[in-house]
Amino acid sequence: QVQLVESGGGLVQPGGSLRLSCAASTSTFSQSLLGWYRQAPGKKRAWVASISTGNFPVYADSVKGRFTISRDNAKTTVYLQMNRLKAEDTAVYYCVLDISGRTYWGQGTQVTVSS
């Protein structure tokens, strides 16, 4: 089974930056669709960003221009660079990997934006 290990979450001031990482165990990483979701308290889980096997990124309107998703196939790792963070970005962030009709989720990492 594919394992996803996330890191990089934490507490940051409004306007600050964080970089989330998600390392995957699968040898089929380069053929996988990758993405990030988040879930704020009292809200449904929401899609944030995705990146294709062709390295094409797409973003939710709420984060466009502030967040950047990227992938490193050699390291089998997907990243989410978050800049100009707002209090509304506070949530548990999850990475997701789709391969061969299966979907795998990371354990989630807390991001808190507060002064």
Cα–Cα distance measured from residue 34 to residue 98, given in angstroms and rounded to the nearest whole number: 6
Residue 73 has pLDDT above 90, yes or no: yes
pLDDT band at 88 (very low <50, low <70, confident <90, very high): very high
The first and second tokens of residue 79, run together, are 């990243």
Residues 109/95, Cβ–Cβ less than 8 Å? no
59: which residues sit within 8 A by CB, 6+ positions away?
Answer: 48, 49, 67, 69
Return the pLDDT at 85. 98
Return the pLDDT at 1. 80
Backbone angles phi, psi at 31, to 5 degrees: -100, 10
